[in-house]
Amino acid sequence: MEEQSALMLEKMLFTSSKPDENVHLCVVAIDDTHAASFRHGQHSRLQMNETVMLYNVLNPVIRYESTVAAVSESYDIIVFKLKKDKFKSFPRGVGRLFRGREYLQLGVDSYREPNWKHGIISHEKRGFYVGTSHGQVGDSGSGIFDSSGLFLGISVGKKCFSFCDWKDMPVGEIADHHPDTQIISSEVIFAFSGIIDDEFEPNMKSALVT
């Protein structure tokens, strides 16, 4: 990815935690008025329509007042909607995930700096995809993009390695192991949160809590 394109994506990074806090809760703009993140942890305390301030990672002076617009306990996703402003930087569009697709993961590290990773979708599970971008503590809420900047989804968790059956595993598999990354696709996020294109109107209001 070109440096200019990478910088544009980094401008879409926010935290729902204040810049001076010890833990940085990553939030990613997904269109001009919505942002998404993980639901677990501190975000699990937030209620529908509750006001949440979003702080830009590159420039903490930039902040937006938002409300909780949709939550999904099953998908572990929370969606915020800006109260009145619009994001100046947001994805140029959305793309689809599929097995074998390469992706870029953009999140926030422990120093509140943009953190890039690269991965490939290894397989699909019911409701989510599994990627190889070496899931680590703090990765939740990271945005998943393709090399052209299309929004593909959100990282919400990692699969930890268990040594309970290590005696039955090949040595190479143990040595090469790294935690998988759990990814919720952009399609799922937009669908359950009821975000649709302006030229279409739903027949009935979508349920915003799943």
More confident residue, 66 or 193: 66
pLDDT at 162: 44
**CATH H-level superfamily of 3-90:** Trypsin-like serine proteases (2.40.10.10)
* Mean pLDDT value of segment 16-25: 94
pLDDT at 76: 94
More confident residue, 38 or 201: 38
* CATH code of the region 102-190: 2.40.10.10
* Mean pLDDT value of segment 122-132: 91
Which residue stretches of the chain are H helix? 3-10, 171-176, 186-193
Per the CB < 8 A criterion, the answer to whether 48 and 68 are in contact is: yes
Per the CB < 8 A criterion, the answer to whether 104 and 144 are in contact is: yes
What is the overall mean pLDDT for the chain? 86
Domain ranges of the chain: 3-90, 102-190
User: Which tokens sit at 72?
Assistant: 């999904």
pLDDT at 159: 57
Radius of gyration of the chain, Cα coordinates, nearest whole angstrom: 17
pLDDT at 55: 98
Answer whether residue 48 shows pLDDT above 90: yes
Answer whether 3-90 and 102-190 agree in fold. Answer: yes
DSSP letters for 130-155 = EE-S---TT-TT-EEE-TT--EEEEE
Q: Which of 105, 141, 136, 142 is nearest to 120 (CA)?
A: 105
Per the CB < 8 A criterion, the answer to whether 94 and 131 are in contact is: no
pLDDT digits (tens, 9 = 90+) for 155-207: 997 555 444 444 554 544 444 445 688 999 999 999 988 887 655 455 554 44
* Mean pLDDT value of segment 145-163: 80
